[in-house]
Structure 1
Amino acid sequence: MANRQLTQQEIDAVFQNLQNRNADAEQSGKAIPFDFRRPDRIAKSQLRSIHLLHDNFVRNLVSSLSAYLRSYLIVNLVSVEQLSYAEFLECLPSPTCIVSLGLKPYDGNAVLELNSALIFPIIEMLLGGNGKNSLPLQREITEIEQNLLEGLFRIILRDLKEAWKGVTAIDFSIESQETEPQFLQILAPSEAVVAIAIEIRIGESVGMMNIAMPSIIIKMMRQKFDQQWSVRKTESTVAEQRRILELIRPATVALDARLEGPTLLMGDLLRLEDGDTLAFDYPVGRDIVCNVNGKAKLTGRIGSKERKLAFEVGDVIRPPAPVALETGAPPHPA
C-alpha cells in the first residue's frame, strides 16, 4: 500500500485530540455534577422498546442480506445502551467505514458504522468470491469500494426504515462517509446517543455494525413509542368489518331444522310397528328452530321448493340480555 501524506487539517485534528485528552485527564479526579433531568437522556422503558424495535430489524436484515449476498449469514443484536457521542466513537476501530445518516423529517444526524472485518469479505462476495477465507485487512477502503457498498447500505437503510415505521416515518439517507471515526464530528462529544451494537457473521469472518441515534431526537418520539406499544381498544371500522366478512364468506356451516318433541324410551321405539301413530304434542302453527353448527339461531317453517324440502326463515333468535342484579350493602352489626 502506498504511503499517504497527512494533510495539515488532519495533523491539526490529531494534536487537538491529544490536547482534549490531556485536559480530560487533569479533570478526571474532580467530581462533576450530573443532572438526571437533562433533556438528552431517555427512560429505561423507552430503551427497552428500542431494543425490541431493532430486534425486529435484525430478523429482517438476515433474510435481506442473505438474498443480496447469496450466502448464509448470522446476525445478532448484541446491546442497546445509552452513551455519550465521545464514548461511542472511542469504541470504534480505526480505520473503518462510518457514514452520517440524515433523519428527515427530524433535524439531526445518526451514525452507521461497519467494521473492516465485514467490509472486505462483503466486497469479495460482491465481486464473485465466497468471502469465507478472507484475510483481515487493516486499510482504508477506496472510492471504487465505496461505490460497491452503495447497494449494501441501501438494503440496510431500507430495513431500518421499515423497522422504525411502526413508531414514526424516518427517511434514512447517507450524507457523508469517513474512514476515521474521529473525523465524523456531527454531534457534540458530550451529547447522549443510543448505541445499537449488532454482530454479523459471514463464514469465518465476524464483525460489528454499530448505529448511534441522538437521544434528544428519540426523546421527542416518546409519545409515539407509547402509542405503538400500548394496547388500544377501539371500535372496528366499517372497512374492517367488511374485510372480516369477506374472509369468512367462503366458510361452510351446518344447518339443522328440528321438530322438537317429547322423549321416547328405546324399548318403545323398538316395539314400533307399521301403522302405529306417534304423538309429538307439537302444535302445527308453532315455528321450528333451525340450528347453525349445533346452536339455535333461527326460527321458521318447513316447506318445499322445487320438489325439495326447504326452511323459510321467520326470525333470528337473539341472545338474552344480561340481567343486572341489585345487591344491597349488608347491614352493619348492632
Structure 2
Amino acid sequence: MSEDVLSQGEIDALLSAISSGEMDADELKEQKQEERKVRDYDFKRALRFSKDQIRGLTRIHENFARLLTSFFAGQLRSFSEVSVASVDQVPYEEFVRSMPQRTVLNIFSVEPLEGRIMYEVNPNIAYAILDRTLGGEGKSSNKVDSLTEIESRIMSRLFEKAFESLEEAWGSLVEIDLTLEEFEVNPQFIQMVSPNETVVIVSLNAQIGETSGMMNICIPHMVLEPIISKLSVHYWMQKEKTKSSPEDAEHLSKSLNNVDVEAKVLLGESGVSIEEFLKLNQEDVIMLNQSIEEPLVMHINNEPKFYVQPGKQKRHMAVQILGETRGEEE
C-alpha cells in the first residue's frame, strides 16, 4: 500500500510542533493509525501467479506470436501480423462473460499436462482468415450462427495447424502434444473449469490484410501447475548457464576440425591510374609495395593470421610460417 511522501517543509513543521509541545508524538501515532486506509481483497480473484511467472508466460507467447505471424503469412499469402497485447490472470467466469455471445472456440488437450486450454478467435478475424483460405480477398462477414459444416471443418483444421506453433513455443519449457477436441461457437456450452478457477488469458492482436481482431488463449491454473516453477526468470538463467557435457564438447571439436577455411597469401599490392592501366603492354613491369626482405602475411578467411616466407615444396609453390601476427595487422 502506497503512502504519501512529506516534503522537507512539512517535516520541519512537524518536528517543530512536536519539540514545542503543540503536538504529542503518541497522539500523532494514534491519528495516523485512524487514518490508515483499508484495501479490499477479493478472494474470488486470488492471484496464483507471480509477476515473474507472468513475465515468463509473456516471453513464451511473444515467440508464439512471431511463429503465428509467419504461419498465417505463408498459409494465406497475405499481410499478417500477430502480437501479444496482454497477459492477465482472472477467474474463468469473468473471462467467459467478456467473450461475445457467439465466437469461434477451439478446445485443445495438452498432453502430458492435465486439463485443456481454449483458443478463442474473434469472428471478424476468423472469417477474414476463412475467406482468404477459400480464395477471397480476406473480407470479414460475421455469420457465426450460420456456419456450414464445411466452413466449420476448414476453420477447425486451419486453427489446429496454426496451434502447432504453440508446441514449438512451449518446447523450451516442456514438450507438449496439442490435440483439438472441440470446436464450438457458444461460450456457454464450454465449461473447462469451475467459475472461480484462476486462468491465464493471453490476448493477441491479429491483423490479416485489412481486417484486425483479437485472439485469446485461456490457460487454466491446473494446466500450468506442474511446470509453474519453470516460469521464473531464475529457471531461464540457470538454463542459459548450463554447461555442455564433455561428450558434446568433443563432438563439437571433431566437427570443427572438418570445417574448411580459406588460406591465402598476398604477394603485394600496387596502385595505377586509369591512364596508366590503359597504356599497359606486354612485358611491362608493375612495382609492388612489398619488400622482398619483409615477410608476407597469410590471411585465414580474410583475417591476418601468420607471417610467412614464400618458397617451393617439391614442384609446388609453398610458404613457411614464421610466426603469428598477434593482431598487428588489425
Q: Tell me the TM-score normalised to structure 2 length.
A: 0.64
Match of 2:32 in 1: none
Paired position in structure 2 for 1:240: 252
Q: Give the equivalent residue in structure 1 for 2:263.
A: 252
Can you give the 5+ residue segments of structure 2 that lack an aligned partner in the other structure? Answer: 1-39, 268-294
Match of 1:127 among 130, 134, 154: 134
Q: CA deviation at 1:191?
A: 1.1
Distance 1:126 1:307 in 2: 67
Residues 169-180 of structure 1 aligned to structure 2 (within 5 Å): 169-180=175-186
* Deviations 1:198-244, CA, capped at 9 Å, x for gaps: 12122332221110112233242134445445421514521222233
Residue 161 in structure 1 maps to residue 167 in structure 2: yes
1:98-109 alignment runs, 5 A limit:
98-109=105-116
Output the CA distance in 1 between the equivalents of 2:315 and 2:184: 85
Within 5 Å, which residues of 2 pair with 1:47-66? 47-66=54-73
- 1:95 touches 1:140 (CA, 8 Å); kept in 2? no
Instruction: Identify which of 76, 85, 91 aligns with 2:83.
Output: 76
Q: What's the CA shift string for 1:284-332, capped at 9, x where partnerless?
A: xxxxx9986566799xx99863156767889x99x9xxxxxxxxxxxxx
Q: Secondary structure at the match of 1:50?
A: helix
What is the one-letter code of the residue matched to 2:172?
A: G
> Does 1:185 pair with 2:191?
yes
Q: Which has the higher helix share?
A: 2
Question: Contact conserved, 2:115 with 2:222, CA < 8 A, in 1?
Answer: no
Of residues 195, 199, 202, the one that matches 2:201 is 195
Amino acid of the residue matched to residue 232 of structure 1?
K
Q: Does 1:45 align with 2:56?
A: no
Q: Is contact 2:144–2:185 with CA below 8 Å preserved after alignment?
A: no
Give the fraction of aligned pairs with identical amino acids, expressed as a percent. Answer: 29
3-state SS of 1:238 partner: helix
2:152 alignment partner, one of 137, 142, 146: 146
User: Partners of 2:44 and 2:155 in 1: how far apart?
Assistant: 42
Q: CA deviation at 1:125?
A: 2.1
Rounded to whole Å, the distance in 2 between the matches of 1:295 and 1:313 is 10
Q: Quick check: 1:305 aligned with 2:313? A: yes
Q: Distance in 2 between matches of 1:161 and 1:222?
A: 17
**Are the structure 2 counterparts of residues 246 and 80 from structure 1 closer, same or farther at C-alpha, using a change threshold of 3 Å?**
farther
Provide the secondary structure at the position in 2 that maps to 1:237. Answer: helix
Q: Deviations along 1:77-97, whole A, 9 cap, x unmatched?
A: 111111111111112111011
Please give the TM-score of this superposition, normalised by the length of structure 1: 0.63
